[in-house]
Amino acid sequence: MANVITSQTIVDGSRNVVIKWHVAADGTGEETDTAVIDVSALTPAASRLKLMELEATLVGCSAVLEWDATTDQPVVSLPEGENVFYYRDIGGLPDPLATGTTGDLTITTVGLGANDSITLVMNCQKKALA
């Protein structure tokens, strides 16, 4: 069996996207570079995102949220517990456009074991395809 991952698109507009992502762990192992937002699947599609707000609830584990690239670029370390990250006051956290960037947000877990869980609610601004 594998960890159960669900993703719910709450808003997917021309400028903003809000995604709720959840993993329920069954003890089969970590999530490594698992996509939490795939920009090519958005409507309209975007080339990159700017993270504006993040609500994260981690039970029994921690994780790192990253921009997907040849060498992934860390966005934020997520400790166990309930966390709210608000980046609007600084204009959001943009994809740094590192070599090989895909524009996707990914997650890598640490210590994900049976009955652990992660819930993320991500509010992002879309940047148009160039």
DSSP state of 3: -
Over the stretch 88-122, which tens digit does the pLDDT of each residue have? 999 999 999 999 999 999 999 999 999 999 999 99
Over the stretch 20-75, which tens digit does the pLDDT of each residue have? 999 999 999 999 999 999 999 999 888 899 999 999 999 999 999 999 999 999 99
Question: Domains in the chain, please, with CATH?
Answer: 4-127 (2.60.120)
pTM of the model as a whole: 0.94
CA angle, 114 as apex, 28 and 118 as ends, to 5°? 100
How far apart, in whole angstroms, are the C-alpha atoms of residue 3 and residue 60?
14
